[in-house]
Amino acid sequence: MNRRFFLTLLGAYAVRTSAGTGADEDADEDADEDKSGLSANELIQFTPISEGVSRASALVLYEGLPHPFWEAEKFKRELATKKTVRFHDYPFYERPLHVAAEEIGSLRRLSAAADSYWSYGGPKFCGAYHPDYCLAWKGDAATYDLLICFGCGEMKLYGAERMLVVDVRRDTFRQFETTLKKYRNQRPS
C-alpha cells in the first residue's frame, strides 16, 4: 500500500471519527460531556475574550489557505502566488471576506458563549490543526482572533493577552461551518 493512499485513508477515518456518524452518536456524546463546557481555569482565560467579542464593534473574516499536509502542493502554490497575512503564525488570504450583517449577531453569540465549547481533548488525527477561518473581532482597544479548524473541530482564541485552545461543541461547530463555508471564495477547490 503506498504511503499517500494510507495517509488519505487515515485522514478519512480521522475526519469521520471526529465528525461523528449520526444523531445517536450526538446524543451519547452530549450525555457524556460536562454541561459546563470549560473548566474553572479555562473560564478565567475565556471570560475576558468573551467579553471582548461581545463588545467588539466589527467582525473581519479571513479565509485560510489549503491544508499544508493534505493539500501540500496547493498550499505551497497559494503561499507563493497570493497575498497573505499571518495571524498567530498561520497564513490567511490578505483580502478579508464581507460577512452579511444578519449573520454577525449569530456569529458573535456562538463566539462569545462558553457553552459553545468544551475543554480541549488533545490533538486529533486530521493531519494537524490548520485554521480554515479567522474571525477577527475588533474593538476600540483590542482585537480578539478566533481561529477555527474544520478538520479537527478545534478553535484557538486569542485576545486580552490570553490564548486558549478549545474543542467546539458539535452543534456549535455545525453552525460555524454552515455559516462560514458560504464565504469561501479564495481557496482553490
Look at residue 65 and tell me if it is in a domain: yes
Q: Name beta bridge partners: 64.
A: 92
Name the residue with cell 449569530.
Answer: 106
Smallest CA-to-CA distance from 116 within 174, 54, 187 is with 174
User: How are the residues of the chain apportioned to helix, strand and coil, as percentages rounded to the nearest 5?
Assistant: 40, 25, 35
Look at residue 109 and tell me if it is in a domain: yes
Query: Radius of gyration of the chain from Cα atoms?
Result: 17
pLDDT value for 49: 97
Look at residue 186 and tell me if it is in a domain: no
Q: Where are the alpha helices (DSSP H) in 56-182?
A: 72-81, 101-112, 170-181
Across 31-63, b (16+ Cβ under 10 Å) vs e yields eeeeeebbeeebeebbeebbebbeebeebbbbb
Residue 24 DSSP one-character state: H
The whole domain housing 71 covers: 3-181
Question: What would the mean pLDDT of 169-178 be, rounded to a whole number?
Answer: 97
pLDDT value for 160: 83
Q: Name beta bridge partners: 119.
A: 166
Q: pTM score, two decimals?
A: 0.81
Domains in the chain, number: 1
pLDDT band for position 140 (50/70/90)? confident
Q: Under 8 Å CB-to-CB from 137, ≥6 apart: which residues?
A: 52, 53, 56, 58, 59, 108, 111, 143, 144, 145, 146, 159
Each residue's pLDDT tens digit, 1-47: 443 433 333 444 343 334 433 333 343 444 334 455 899 999 999 99
Look at residue 7 and tell me if it is in a domain: yes
Look at residue 189 and tell me if it is in a domain: no
Residue 107 has pLDDT above 60, yes or no: yes
HEC profile of 37-83: CCCHHHHHHHHHHHHHHHHCCEEEEEEECCCCCCCHHHHHHHHHHCC
